[in-house]
Amino acid sequence: MKTLIRSLAVAGLAMVVGTAAQAQDAPERTIRFGHLNNADHPVSFGVKRFAELLAAKSGGKLKVQEYPASQLGNELQQQSALQGGIQQMSAPATTSLAGIVKEFGLVDFPFAVSTFAQADRLLDGPLGQTLLAKLPEKGLVALGYWDLGFRNVTNSRRPITKAEDLDGLKIRVIPNPVFLETFRTFKANPVPMPFAELYGALEAKAVDGQENPYAVILSNKLFEVQKFVSATNHVYAANIVLVSKKFWDQLSPAEQKMMHEAADESRTYQRQVSRAAAQKAVGELQAKGMQFNELAALEVARMRQLVKPVLERFAASYDPATVKLYNDELARILK
């Protein structure tokens, strides 16, 4: 893992030699970059990589100050801070944006993609770019998508091997309508809750379980308060690199170009590190005492069919052109 991180970092920094000359006359700026994850999580590695690239490109004029582990508030608090110009950057899960651009709910449709390659093609292609284009009018500028990973269910009561195993479980979910209705379909009791409150709620058994990518489960030591981890892979989750539009509009075209370039270059690195960490995390969670199980392909297909009416209902309330693009893109990607 460390070797991968080092080799990717060296390769990326080599690309920025000479670019710093563009920033000779730029003012010095400090960018407050907040996120929910711990400093040992792949999102934090992405922030650090972005900071290195941006510093190199700007000759040290654009400095990134990282605030991990919800230091600047939960996702919605940081979103408001960006919109108000108090905070410059964040990297929340795309789920948190459904409240201001509901079509981001399309990204959270369960069982839509099953591989990382499919997810990348969906988000980096026309659908992902169309969603990004809806954000400036909401006070946000997006620089692309980072990897968070496939979400999987953990709980303290039993393995999840079929839809019926979720019946009656109190599962913490992101405050997102698609997530809520998906778990209600499986007769679970979804509980919307900020991530910062999750560990305490699991420890106090206020909720039975939660769903997150493996690296998040490991980094936040949920193995201390959860017994079972089940490879439901029900949703591919992405982080989105956000900039306050009020801050963005203060930047010169050259500075904006550096920001875009640093985001593009750090994306490849962050995804590789994140996916390597996820693969490694499964073994580490088992070593920490969690019981791991996978779901049969036929059961996943059955669960996909069970939630289909939920997805059709939500899609009917979204912009028809965006929904058509989503369906067209999935047809292209999955064929």
Q: By the 8 A CB rule, do 74 and 36 touch?
A: yes
CA-wise closest residue to 264 among 104, 24, 49:
49
pLDDT the model gives residue 167: 98
Q: Which tokens hold the place of 149? A: 């990973």
* pLDDT, averaged in runs of 10, over the chain (335 residues): 63 51 74 96 97 98 97 95 98 92 94 96 98 98 97 98 98 90 97 93 98 94 98 97 98 98 97 96 98 97 96 96 98 93
pLDDT the model gives residue 188: 98
pTM to 2 decimal places: 0.88
- Please report the domains of the chain, with CATH numbers, ordered by start residue: 2-6+26-334 (3.40.190.170)
Task: Round to whole Å and give the CA distance between 38 and 207.
Answer: 22
